[in-house]
Amino acid sequence: MSVELELWLFAVAAGTSLLGGVLGMASGVFIVPVLTLFGHLDIHSAIGASLVSVIACSCASAAPFLQERLTNIRLAIVLETATTLGALTGVLLVGVVPISLLFALFGLVLLLAAAQMLRVRRQTAQPSSVRRSSWQLDASYPDAELGGEVAYEVHRLPAGLGLMYLAGLLSALLGIGSGVLKVPAMDTALRLPIKVSSATSNFMIGVTAAASAVAYFVRGIITAPIAAPVALGSVLGALLGARILLRMPTARLRVMFVAVLVALAIEMILNAFGVSLTHRTT
Amino acid sequence: MRVTIDERRLEARLAKLLWFGTLSGCVLMGLGWLLFLSTHTPVSARAAYALMDAGVLLLIVLPIIRVALMLSVFLRERDVRFATAAAAVLLIIALSLAVGLWTKA
C-alpha cells in the first residue's frame, strides 16, 4: 500500500466527514462508494474500514449527547436487540450476496439518502390517543430553546423495532450507520423529539456496527492500513465539523450534496451491471 | 419516567467510557499508522500492524463494553426487563462472532 493511497484515504475520510458534520448528516454512506469507485478498493475491505469508522464516530460524539441528557439509553438498549439481530442476519448473508447486488443496494440507499436530504425533518405531533407501551420508555429531556424539561412518549414500538432490524441488516451488508432507515423509524414510528432521536440513534450505531465488525475482524476482512486512516480521518472531520458549525448558506451546500449522492448512486448502480465510468484498472 | 440520580451517574460513566475509549483507540491507530508510513524494516512494519490492529480492536470492543456496563447496572438495580435486553444484545454479538469464526477462510 503506497503512501499516496494512505494519505488519500485519510483526506477523503476527513473531507466527507467535515462536510457531513456541517450539514448534520452522517457521512458514513460516502466512504464505501468513494473507496470502491475512485480508490478501486475491493468492496469488502471498503465495508470493513467503513464499519470501524462508523463505530469511532458514534463513540466519539456520544459523550456530549449523554451529558446533555438527550440520549434515551433504555430505549436504545431495547432497539439494539433489533439492530444487532439485523446485523447478525447481514453477517450470515454477506458471503451469499453477490457483489453486484451489494453495489445495486448501495445505489438505492444513496438515492434514499438524497431524497431524505431534500425533505425538511419536521417534528411529528404526539397524539395522546395512541396506546402507550408498558415498557417505561417515556422520558424527558432538557431543551434550552423551549426552556425547561420536555416530556415525551414512545409510540409504536413494534414498528420501530421492525425498521431497526432492517437498519441493522443494511449496516452489516453495506458498512454504514443506516441513518436512512433510523430517521424514519425514530421520527415517524416512535415519534421522538428530533434531538432525542438524533442522540439515541447515534448512540445505537456503535453497537450495531460492532455486531458485524466482530465477524469481519475475525474473518480478516478488516485491513488495518485501510481502516486506520479512514477511521482517523472520519473522527477528526466529525469533531471539527461539529465545532466549526459554519454560518454559511447551507441551502446551496445541501443541493450540492444531493447532486453528489445522486451521481454516486448512478455510478454504483451502473457498476452493479458491469458498466463503469470511473474505469477500473483491475 | 425516572431520571434518578443513579440514571444520571450511569450516563456520566457511559460518556466517560466512550470518550476515553475512542481517544485510546485513535491514539493506538494513529501511532501505528505514522509508524507504518515511515517504516522501512520488516520489524517496524510488524509493530505498526500490531498497533493499528490493537486500535481497531479496541474501537470494535468499546460499544460491547458499554452494553456490558449497562447490563451490570441494570442487574444491580434488579431491573429485569432492561437487563434481559442488554443480555440479549451481548448474546447476539457473541453469535455473530461465532459465525465469523465458523466461516473464516
H or E segment and range at residue A141: strand A139-142
Q: d(Cα A75, Cα A115) in Å, to the nearest integer?
A: 27
For B31, name the nearest residue in chain A, comparing CA atoms only. Answer: A228
Q: Which amino acid is at A139?
A: A
Which of A126-135, A199-208, A210-219 has the least mean pLDDT?
A126-135
Q: Shortest CA distance to A69 belongs to which of A21, A139, A137?
A: A139
3-state helix, strand, coil in chain A (%, to 5): 70, 5, 30
Cell numbers for A222: 478488516
Per the structure block, which three cell numbers stand in for A267?
A: 455510478
Q: Which of B15, B59, B82 is nearest residue A62 as measured by Cβ atoms?
A: B15
Closest by Cα among A183, A210, A273 to A84:
A210
Q: In which element (H, E) is residue A205 found?
A: helix A194-219
Determine contact, residues A61/A202, Cβ cutoff 8 Å: yes
CA-CA-CA-CA torsion sign (A62, A28, A171, B93) = negative
Asked if A70 and A245 touch (Cβ cutoff 8 Å), the reply is no
- Mean pLDDT score of chain A: 84
pTM of the model: 0.90
A-to-B residue pairs, Cβ atoms closer than 8 angstroms? 174
Any chain B CB within 8 A of the CB of A240? no
Q: pLDDT for A135-159, tens place per residue?
A: 677 777 777 666 677 777 887 888 8
Average pLDDT over residues A92-110: 91
CA distance A40 to A171: 21
B96/A216 Cβ within 8 A: no
- Structural domain spans, chain A: 3-123+154-272
**Total H helices, total E strands in chain B:** 3, 0
Which residue of chain A comes nearest to B95, CA vs CA? A88
What ipTM did this prediction achieve?
0.92
Which is more confidently placed, A131 or A182?
Answer: A182
| Residues A88, A74: Cα–Cα separation, whole Å | 22
Q: Which of A2-6, A22-26, A179-183, B24-28 has the highest mean pLDDT?
A: B24-28
Which residues in chain B are closer than 8 Å to A63, comparing Cβ atoms?
15-16, 18-19
